[in-house]
Amino acid sequence: MSSPSPIPPPNDRRSSRSSSSAAPYAGDGILVGGPPGSPSPLALRASNSPSSRRRHSRIVKTPPEFQSLDYVSAPDSNLVCLICHTPFDKPVQLSCEHYFCRECLDHAWAPQASGRKTCPTCRNKVETDKDIRPVPKIIETMLDELVVKCPNTKAGCTWTEHRVNVNDHVMLYCEYTPVECSGTDCRLQISQKDFHKGCLHYTVSCDDCHASLMKKDLEEHKRNICANRKTSCALCSVEVLRLDLKSHINKDCPKHVISCQGTIVGCKFTAERAEVVLHEVNCAMATMAPHFREQQARIERNEARMEPLARKVGILEDGLTNITNMLYPANSNDQSFPVTDPLDPNDTDPQAPTPDFRLPPASFPPVPPGNEGAPTQPPFDSQVHHLLTLHDSLREEVSRIANALTDLDGRTNMMIINESQRAKDEMLHANAAISSLRMHLQWLVSATIHQRTTSAGSSPAKTAGSTNVSAGGSSATRATSARPGPSATLQGPFRRLSDSTRQDTKL
């Protein structure tokens, strides 16, 4: 008795192919060798492409018919429908308390005019919908629990179970449910379990009786039909199916010579199976064998898990070496490096570039002194590994250069900014100086004009003007942006000049 397995039914595999492509399949009609109707080599190669399956976009299975089910024991006559003579399938109850399958009743009523339906058993009139009632729950439970055989029993299925499960079994789990053959040009049916084997609808001949039959029926033939299907075991002369001979010798034959199960622990006992079985009852090593086997399996599992871990560690160590080498670029070829263990960055070193950054010591031994030139590297376990490490270190290098470049760039920019700022300042100074000079010049010019127009009458005013000029000039040179002195001290004609001065300083 097999219970439904949790493995998804094989037809799920192809659910994604449900969209059937209309593209014509190139291999159609080309059959090169092989059994007739079998996929051509081309077809085989393309057999996974959706187009080659366009006819088989869905596996169509027929649900089991309850009326054809085979019951393990004769069902109670009270549970049998009088119309179909099988246990009820979705039964209903009429007002006269006669029970029928809903479907049988519909069949029986088909020829009767509506409104004149009668109970097939007692001929009482039935008011269609009102008089049809569900059957008691217990009847349904009893029906559900009837034990049936799988409808594919003839094909080889051994499933027997409650009837309520038969639909699921056939539609989902049964390996023997007939489905459409996967052969491109084949429209026959095949057991679900053989679906992936391609088309088996070609003729072969049985090796044992020379009957010719379809390939798909060969196993069934060899198991149940072939006249020459039995043979006797050469060792124990028990009669077995030829098909089962190998498994008989390997598993059952009492005369086959095998060794004690404890052989993996050291038991040297070897004899015919029957004797070995007796021996194993008392053999301590045979008792221990299963535990040992289990341990062995566990060790193997762990070893398999360790390999990728070891590789990972190797790569990490290389990365670490690169980091270490970068932090102490001198350690590989500079003998004067003061650190006692060049690979232990935790040694206090006043010159360490990052004194507060602590690295664990590298796990591989330091290079022996005198081995100059060669950078410290652990042995590489493969070329790929080497390349990976190389790649890593190059990447480090590139990023370091990139960092340095950015750094440099920033510094240059700063320098340029500072420089231009200073130039600007100097220019301002120069401008201020020029404008004050210009003022002095204008003042002098206007003074000269004034002198000429008033003629040479008043000499004391002339001396006062000259002293004012010297005082105003000195103050102007001192103040760069302040209002120039002369305009404050001298009225009238200089008013306009002060405006021009302001304009100049704006330059």
Partner 1 sequence: MFASKRLGKELTKMHGKLPPGITLVKADDFQTWLMDIQVIDSNPIYQGETYRLKFIFSGNYPIEAPEVVFLKDDSHPIPWHPHIYSNGIICLDLLDRQGWSPVHNVESVCVSLQSMLTSNTKKERPQGDDNFVRYNTQRPRDISFVFHDNQV
Positions that interact with Zn ion (CB under 5 A): 81, 83-84, 96, 98, 101, 104, 119, 121-122, 124, 150, 152, 157, 159, 174, 181, 183, 186, 188, 199, 201, 206, 208-209, 226, 233, 235-236, 253, 260, 262, 267, 269, 283, 286
The mark string for 9-48 relative to partner 1 (x by CB under 8 A, - otherwise) is ----------------------------------------
Instruction: Please enumerate in sequence order all residues whose Cβ is within 8 A of that of 22, keeping only pairs 6 or more positions apart, or say none.
Output: 54
42 binds, among partner 1, Zn ion, none (CB under 5 to 8 A by kind): none
Q: Does 501 bind partner 1 (CB under 8 A)?
A: no
68 binds, among Zn ion, partner 1, none (CB under 5 to 8 A by kind): partner 1
**CB nearer Zn ion, residue 239 or residue 356:** 239
- Residue type (1 letter), 275: E
Q: Does 258 bind partner 1 (CB under 8 A)?
A: no
Q: Does 259 bind partner 1 (CB under 8 A)?
A: no
Instruction: Please enumerate in sequence order all residues whose Cβ is within 8 A of that of 362, keeping only pairs 6 or more positions apart, or say none.
Output: 317, 320, 321, 324, 343, 344
Structure tokens at 249: 């010798």
- Distance from C-alpha of 447 to C-alpha of 445, rounded to nearest angstrom: 5
Radius of gyration over every alpha carbon of the chain, rounded to an integer in angstroms = 53
Compute how many other C-beta atoms are within 10 angstroms of the C-beta atom of residue 225: 13
Sheet arrangement for strand 99-101: 99-101, 91-93, 133-134
485 binds, among Zn ion, partner 1, none (CB under 5 to 8 A by kind): none
- Distance from C-alpha of 497 to C-alpha of 441, rounded to nearest angstrom: 11
**CB nearer partner 1, residue 108 or residue 172:** 108
SS3 category, 231: strand
The mark string for 164-183 relative to partner 1 (x by CB under 8 A, - otherwise) is --------------------
- Distance from C-alpha of 258 to C-alpha of 254, rounded to nearest angstrom: 10
SS3 category, 257: strand
**Contact assessment for residue 505 and residue 435, using Cβ atoms and an 8 Å cutoff:** yes
Q: Does 83 bind partner 1 (CB under 8 A)?
A: yes
- Distance from C-alpha of 435 to C-alpha of 501, rounded to nearest angstrom: 6
- Residue type (1 letter), 472: G
Q: Does 111 bind partner 1 (CB under 8 A)?
A: yes
| Least gap, CB of 76 to Zn ion (angstroms) | 15
| Least gap, CB of 192 to partner 1 (angstroms) | 24
Side-chain-side CA neighbours of residue 217 (13 Å): 17
Q: Does 383 bind partner 1 (CB under 8 A)?
A: no
| Least gap, CB of 42 to partner 1 (angstroms) | 41
- Distance from C-alpha of 361 to C-alpha of 351, rounded to nearest angstrom: 18
At 258, give phi and psi (nearest 5°). -130, 170
Q: Does 107 bind partner 1 (CB under 8 A)?
A: yes
In the chain, the N- to C-terminal Cα span, in Å, equals: 105
| Least gap, CB of 154 to partner 1 (angstroms) | 15
- Distance from C-alpha of 214 to C-alpha of 203, rounded to nearest angstrom: 4
Q: Does 108 bind partner 1 (CB under 8 A)?
A: yes
| Least gap, CB of 61 to partner 1 (angstroms) | 18
The mark string for 51-70 relative to partner 1 (x by CB under 8 A, - otherwise) is ----------------xx--
Beta bridge partners of 240: 231
**Contact assessment for residue 269 and residue 283, using Cβ atoms and an 8 Å cutoff:** yes
439 binds, among Zn ion, partner 1, none (CB under 5 to 8 A by kind): none
By C-alpha distance, which of 103, 100, 167 is closest to 139? 100
As a residue count, the chain comes to 507
| Least gap, CB of 152 to partner 1 (angstroms) | 17
Number of residues lying near partner 1 (CB under 8 A): 15
| Least gap, CB of 84 to partner 1 (angstroms) | 6
Q: Does 82 bind partner 1 (CB under 8 A)?
A: yes
In degrees, rounded to 5, the angle at the alpha carbon of residue 464 between the alpha carbons of residues 462 and 470 is: 105
236 binds, among Zn ion, partner 1, none (CB under 5 to 8 A by kind): Zn ion
**CB nearer Zn ion, residue 188 or residue 327:** 188
116 binds, among Zn ion, partner 1, none (CB under 5 to 8 A by kind): none
85 binds, among Zn ion, partner 1, none (CB under 5 to 8 A by kind): partner 1
Map the footprint of partner 1 across residues 121-150, applying CB under 8 A: 121, 123
Tell me which residues touch partner 1 (CB under 8 A).
Answer: 67-68, 82-86, 104, 107-108, 110-111, 120-121, 123
